[in-house]
Chains A and B, each alone.
Chain A
Amino acid sequence: MTLEFAICLTEILTGFAFIQQSMEHIFAPKNEQILFIPRIILCVFLILGFETEWVSLALMALALLMLYRFQGPYNGGSDRMSLLLLSCLCLVHFLPEQSWRELVFGYLALQLVMSYFISGWVKIINPEWRNGLALNDVFRYSSYPVSEHLRGLWNWPKLLLVMSWAVILFELIFPLTLISQPTLILGLVIAATFHLANAFLFGLNRFFWIWLAAYPSIIWLQFRIFDAF
């Protein structure tokens, strides 16, 4: 996969992910609509590949206005990944040297890997994650489960213990999937399924789309590293 193709794919997926996010503000108060309607229009240009460097820059300016409007990210981690993606897309368009562009896109891929690995690391060093109690708390009283019925899962401690370890091990092992293209693709399919489950159980739908948008960077990086040998 060439850098140009990976960037193009990232732009298209980011465009769709941003449209999905922005559409959710279409019936919001006017002071939100004024930020999100132009964003939808810009994303159409991004998907069509029209003047993508200037479109990325305009999207970045809008992103800063949104940060100011909400005094931080509107949707925590998914907004942080959105901003990271957008910042990297802006930089790859305006940096003069190919090697610098590769460095920036590689940074995006590295952050994607870290997003899984660090999440796994902070869980495995926490005894309450290791004994399943943390996931039990997530279902029992956190703000995330999408229905009261789902909260009932806290009564299934053995299942939650298995789920906890499955998540921890997958997140920690994820960097090893880079060793070959088939293992990476398998890793990404499992990761996407994990995000889909989070969207189902905790309503975190924006994470699913925006993490998917960052996948071309890791596929490119794997190809770039192993192609060199």
Chain B
Amino acid sequence: MGITSVGKVIHSFKLLLPALIPSWRFFDVIAPSPRIEFTLLETEDEAPVNWTEFRPRPQRLSVIQMFKRILWNPHWNESLFLVSCAERLMAHPTEHSRAEIQNRISRDLKRNEDMDLIQPYLQFRLVFLDRQGTEIKKRVMYMSPIHQHIENIV
């Protein structure tokens, strides 16, 4: 086992520690909440204008849909993972968090859109919502690098 592999094992055990001695501080404070928005561009130099919210929540869910989600809720759980990635990206930025968000936007576009209509460059940003007094304020806290995503869909 090489030094890199040993490092990976040690790193994984470090990630395990918060599970062995958990803090259980669920919802102790309601922190600013991230939304992921993306834009598609024709060229690397194009200035982004139109931003689209990634995976906006549905207007309504029926009680039957809510019941089904007790057993099968992959899309929502993936979205919550992306919320974690967005929070990690602000707390301690890593290539991993950026790539997770970027690849999943690309994958959704590939699934849902006609590939011929998708522009080749992708950029995403993180908008954080927070209450200041009685008003909800939106702040753009992160802009990803522009990325040529068509060849890089996982």
Q: Which A residues form the contact surface with B (CB < 8 A)?
A: 20, 23-25, 27-29, 31, 63-65, 67-68, 70-77, 79-84, 87, 111, 114-115, 118-119, 122-123, 126, 128, 134, 137-138, 140-143, 145-150, 196, 199-200, 203, 205-206, 208
Contacts and interface: CB of A to CB of B under 8 A. Distances in A.
A148 B19 contact: no
16 contacts: A28-B74, A64-B12, A68-B15, A71-B88, A72-B84, A79-B19, A81-B22, A83-B16, A83-B19, A118-B23, A119-B26, A123-B27, A143-B35, A143-B79, A149-B61, A206-B77
B: interface residue count bin: 35 or more
B70 A77 contact: no
B153 to A, nearest CB: 10
Contacts of A142: 30, 33
Contact of B154 (A29, A65, A208): A29
A114 B77 CA distance: 25
Contacts, number: 150
Contacts of B61: 146-147, 149-150
A208 B117 CA distance: 41
Interface in B44-95: 57-61, 66, 69-74, 76-81, 83-84, 88, 94
A143 B83 contact: yes
A141 B28 contact: no
B107 A29 contact: yes
B106 to A, nearest CB: 11
Nearest to B104: A29
B30 A24 contact: no
Nearest to A171: B26
B139 interface: no
B22 A138 contact: no
A137 B83 contact: no
Contact of A111 (B18, B22, B28, B131): B22
A87 B20 contact: yes
Contacts of A122: 25-26, 28
B98 to A, nearest CB: 12
> 5 tightest CB-CB pairs across the interface, nearest first?
A83-B19, A24-B74, A122-B28, A137-B30, A203-B76
Contacts of B29: 126, 128, 134
Nearest to B129: A141
B17 to A, nearest CB: 10
A65 B12 contact: yes
Nearest to B35: A143
B130 to A, nearest CB: 7
B69 A199 contact: yes
